Structure 1
Amino acid sequence: MSFDLDLGNCRALVTGGTKGVGRAVVEAFTSHGVRVLTTARHELDDLPAGVNFIAADISLSEGCERVAEAALRLLGGVDILVHVAGGSSAPAGGFAVLDEQEWQREMNLNLFPAVRLDRALLPDMIARGFGVVIHVSSIQARMPLPNATTAYASAKAALAAYSKSLSKEVGPKGIRVMRVSPGWVKTEAAIALVNRIAAEKGVDFDAAQQSLMDSLGGIALGRPSEPEEVADLITFLASPRAGAITGADYVIDGGTLPTV
């Protein structure tokens, strides 16, 4: 049996596609012949050949409108929509340091871009009776770290509920909606964090990485995931090979979550 993912005629929008998991998804898609539009606040010079790019801040409604318009104009619509952009800049210190601005910032980055872009691009998918939407969440939605990720984890939990409800609504119309929930992934930002911890504690990179893994309760595989590993999962889920999958959450965390 061939394992061709049969993605060559597809069009995809990938948010946050210039680095980390988003960049890995863009590269995986293009390697399978997908026509890709990606977005971030700033363009990099080394995007794969043929990838369309639109600069936008999708934490703002006008940024989402700009991206949706570009998807329709440059690609004629999308068959696959992958929401990767997200993250947190909230300070450590628990609930007391999370003011109104911090809470709104976390929602604006981790929930509302998916809601807004889905709302703009799903009608075309529904009209054609085909489409795939993948929301990249986080194991933090199930395992928040109260000192540092309360607002981020809450936004991702809201994304989970939204994603599940959306899957029930649009599944009968031919649209598959799924979540992928990574644990700690070895992105550029993660490497920078480990280096910062190493400098603060006066230890080497490996020791700092181990201390971070310990703070998560340990990772069974003993290492963080690679962006390409997450991208491979997303690429499979986006393909017709996963045609009977919708409404599900796929955890890829090296065994971090301690529960079923």
Structure 2
Amino acid sequence: MARELVDATTCDWHAALPDAGRPISAPSQRTLENGKEVDLCDSCAWAFDFYYPRRQEVLPLLQPAVLDAFYRSARGTDTARRFPDQLPIPTTEQPAPASTPKAAPKAPASTRAKRHLGVWKDDVVQVRCPLPHQRGTTRKYWVDLRNRTGHARGHRKGDGTSYAGPDIAFELPPGEKFTHFCTEHQVCAENGGYGFLTADSLTAHLHKSKDWPTATKEARDAAETRLQAPAA
């Protein structure tokens, strides 16, 4: 990100607007092509997921000259020209339609939405969150790896404070393992190192989390020792 990260929990996209107003909470994270992460509010996260992969097709459509020609091509809403006169209604009696069974009531939107939370995705790197989640969600709750820090902040500890990403033992799918670890922050070191899959991802984490408290030498050395110990 080009700007200085003052608050990692505010929406970077809204903050980049020339007339940006008050900071907007950003519970989601996304990764740019350069490997760096940005914090996004819910609406910007949706826009990012839909438009960012398609920006080469979408941005040309939004150029001022294209929009101007597009607006000028609009036709008037002449309903008499566009639709034929209504056909006369038959006066003879028609047989009553056969009764049809009533459709089963739809589940509330909130319930339907929960069924899609925590589901496994084949096209995204995910980790499993071991914490309990809302009723109605999947038993094994999967989280996009790039969003695990924001997901952690949505959970509360017993004292009411939010979890940090390293506080949760996120699990990769079987056969995969973290290869790079952060021990520079106190919370990362205390939890044995915060794992990443690539050096670029670790570098992006260090940049975005530079306001996290630095680990003491004792905590860092203890974490490094655990990481270097052979697997049991």
For Structure 1 versus Structure 2, the TM-score category normalised by the shorter chain is under 0.3
Structure with the bigger RCO (C-alpha within 8 Å, sep 6+) is 1
TM-score by length of 2: 0.28
Higher helix proportion (structure 1 or 2): 1
Higher strand proportion (structure 1 or 2): 1
TM-score by length of 1: 0.26
